[in-house]
Structure 1
C-alpha cells in the first residue's frame, strides 16, 4: 500500500513538545504563513529493540537542496521516484546508513537522548528568524477538530518522519521506495543545512526496488545492518574539458586483501540508469571506469552514483553537488 500522501512540509518552526508516554512522539509546531501544522516524529519502535536509530548531518550537502529552496511553503506532494526531491535512505545516497546508532528517547542526564538531540537543532530553527524546516513524511488532515498538542484548528500535520521501507511483516504494507521521512533544517545565518535521519532497528537496509520490502534472503540470515563496504567509489569526473560524452568516469577502489569479481555488478545514476561492469578488480586496485554516455549520465548540476553488486544490493553510494 505504501504511504498514501507522501511529501514535504516547508515552514517556520515555532514551538516544540518533547516525546513522552507509551507512544512518544516529538512534536513541532510549524507555520507556512497561512496555516499551522504539527510535525509528529516517532521516537520509539513498536517492535523490539524499541530504541530508534539516528544519524545527524550537521553540514548536509546533497542535490535535493537545490530543489527545496524554490518550493512554496506548506505541504508539497512528492512523486515517489528518483530524480526529484523524494528521499530514499538506500537509493538516494543521502548519508552512510552504517553510521546510524540507537538512542533512547528520554533518559536522565544532559544531552544523552533523542528528545534533547532533536530539541537542540529545532531550537536553533526557532531562534533564527530566517530559518526554514522541512519535514518529509505522510500528511494527515485537515481535521475537523482542534490539534491535541498545540490547540490550533483545524488539526493538520505530517508524520512518518523516518525510514519507510524494509519493515517487518507487521508493517510491510507501509513499505515503499522513494518515500522515506526526515527533518531538514536550513539555517541561512550560519550558511548551513542540517539533516536528521531516523530508522527502526527492526527495519532492514536491503530492500527490493519495486515495493521497498526487505530482501529476506539477506535480511533474515544476518542482522539487518548495512553491508560493509568492500568496493568504494573514491572519485568521479563529472565535468571533463570539452564534450562530456565518452569522457566522464567513476573510480572504484578495492579495499579488501583479495581480488573481487565485478562481473554483473553495476553503477547507477540518479535516474537509476545502469552500467553493467565486468572483470575482476585486484586487491588494493583503483579502477577507473569510463562512461560511454550511452548508459549512465553524470549531471554537471549535481547527482548521485551508486554501486550495486550482482544481486542488486547497494555496496556504496555517493552524492555530489
Structure 2
C-alpha cells in the first residue's frame, strides 16, 4: 500500500548532520533540522544558538542523530539499504520556479501540511518524479556516498546548498511521510517503481523531495533523490512496468542505447490567439535519434489530463523537427505541464512552465534540454 501521512513541511533550516560510513554502513542518512515556528512559546533556550547562528557543520564521525527540542527533523537517504544496488541518484533543478507547483507551495502555512486529500495530477502540490515533469532526466548525477577527495560524493555536493540555505535564511519545503510522533519526516525520495520488499510503498504522486526558496533572489531549487534501481516507468499503482531504471540513463559504463524516455523531445509549446474562439495550439517535437520514429497513437497531455492524440501517419525522420497541432487541449498562459507518451502510455518527454515576466504572454514557451 502507498506510504501514510504524506505531506509537505514548510520551515526554515537551522542545522544538519551527515552520517558517514562509520556511523551507519547499511542505510545512511542526512539529518536536516528545521524550525517551523510552531513552538515559539515553549522554553527551548538550548536551541537558540542554532537558530541565531545557523550551526551547520557536520557532526563528528560516529555521532548519532538526535531529536533537538524545539526543532523538527528530516531524515533524507544518501545511501540505499539495497544490497545489490546501494547507489542513489540525485537531480538539482535550479530553475524550479518554472514549475507550476511553486504557486501553491508559497501559499502554505508554516509547519506540516497534509496532502492526503490533494489532487493527484501534474502541477498539484503532490510530487511525482515521472508525471510531474520536475527535471530533465539526463541532467542527474550518480555519486557514491562517502569517499575521500572533494566534490566527488553526495556529501560534497549537497553540503554547499544546505549551507547556503541556512546562511541566507531560506525557506524549505520538505515533502515525504511524517512519522507517528510528529517530530520528523522521512521517505524524502522517490516512492514508486520499487523492487523487492519496498514495492509495498509504491504509489503515484507521493514522491519526496527538498525544495528551497531563497528570499533575496526569489529563486527556487529542487533537490530530488531516488535509488538507481527504481523504475523510470510505472503504472497507476506506482509499480514498475518497464526494465528501464534511472541508472540506465546516467551510467557512463553501461548506458543503454534503447532507452525510451528522451528519444523525442518537446522543444516548444505555442498558443497563437486572436480571440478566445480563434486560437491555435501546437507543440514542436524533435527526434533525438538517428532513425525514423513513428508517432502513431502517441499522445500529448496537459496538467488537467486532457489528451491530444497525434495523427495516425505522424512520424519524425532521424534528427528531424516538426510542429504538431494540439487544438483539442488547452494550454494555460499562467502555468502548465506538457507530456508526451507513446502508444503504450510510457512517458517519452515532459516539460513544465510557470508564468513570470518575459516568460509567456499567450504565445510560446521554448524549453531547453
TM-score (normalizing by structure 2): 0.77
**Shift in CA distance, 44/108, structure 1 to aligned 2, threshold 3 Å:** same
RMSD over aligned CA atoms reads 2.1
Q: Which residue matches 2:147?
A: 107
Residue 211 (str. 1) matches residue 237 (str. 2) = yes
Is the 8 Å Cα contact of residues 296 and 315 (structure 2) preserved in structure 1? no
**Distance in 1 separating the partners of 2:132 and 2:99:** 9
* Conserved? CA contact 2:28–2:80, under 8 Å: no
1:265 aligns with 2:302: no
Name the residue aligned to 2:120: 81
Give the deviation of 1:244 after TM superposition: 6.5
Structure 1's unaligned 5+ residue stretches are 144-155
Q: Give the stretch that moved more between structures: 91-100 or 301-310.
A: 91-100
> Cα 1:98–1:127, aligned 2, differ >3 Å: closer, same or farther?
same
- Structure 1 residue matching 2:197: 3-state secondary structure: helix
Within the candidate set 41, 53, 60, 2:89 is matched to: 53
| 2:308 aligned with 1:275 | yes
Give the 3 Å change call, closer, same or farther, for CA 128–55 of structure 1 in structure 2: same
Alignment of 1:1-321 (within 5 A): 1-20=1-20, 21-22=24-25, 23-35=27-39, 36-47=71-82, 48-60=84-96, 61-78=98-115, 79=118, 81-82=120-121, 83-129=123-169, 131-142=170-181, 156-208=183-235, 210-216=236-242, 218-219=243-244, 225=249, 227-238=260-271, 240-243=273-276, 246-278=279-311, 279-283=313-317, 284-292=319-327, 295-321=328-354
Residue 251 of structure 1 contacts residue 289 of structure 1 at CA under 8 Å; is this kept in 2? yes
Aligned twin of 2:44:
none
Distance 1:28 1:3 in 2: 21
CA distance in 2, matches of 1:122, 1:115: 10
1:150 paired residue number: none
The CA deviation at 1:69 is: 1.0
For structure 2, list consecutive stretches of 5 or more residues without a partner in the other structure. Answer: 40-70, 250-258, 355-369
Task: Please tell me whether the aligned partners of residues 229 and 247 of structure 2 are also in contact (alpha carbons under 8 angstroms).
Answer: no
Change (3 A) 1:120 1:241: farther
Distance 1:39 1:315 in 2: 33
Cα separation, 2, equivalents of 1:59 and 1:233: 17
Alpha-carbon distance, 1:318 to partner: 0.7
Q: Is the 8 A contact 2:234 2:241 kept in 1?
A: yes
CA distance in 2, matches of 1:108, 1:203: 27
Instruction: Say which one has the larger Rg.
Output: 2
Mean CA deviation greater in 260-269 or 77-86: 77-86
Any idea what SS the aligned residue of 2:160 has?
A: helix
1:122-164 alpha-carbon deviations (Å, 9 max, x no partner): 11111113x1011111111326xxxxxxxxxxxx011111111
Distance 1:258 1:204 in 2: 25
Write the deviation string for residues 212-237 of structure 1: whole angstroms up to 9, x where unpaired: 10014x449x9754635222211111
- How many residue pairs get aligned? The number is 303
Kept in 2, the 8 Å contact 1:166–1:206? The answer is: yes
Determine the C-alpha separation between the residues in 2 that align with 1:30 and 1:274: 41
CA distance in 2, matches of 1:125, 1:223: 29
Find the residue that maps to 1:247 and give its secondary structure: strand
**Given the superposition, is the C-alpha separation of residues 223 and 137 from structure 1 closer, same or farther in structure 2, using an over 3 Å criterion?**
closer
Q: TM-score, normalised by structure 1?
A: 0.88
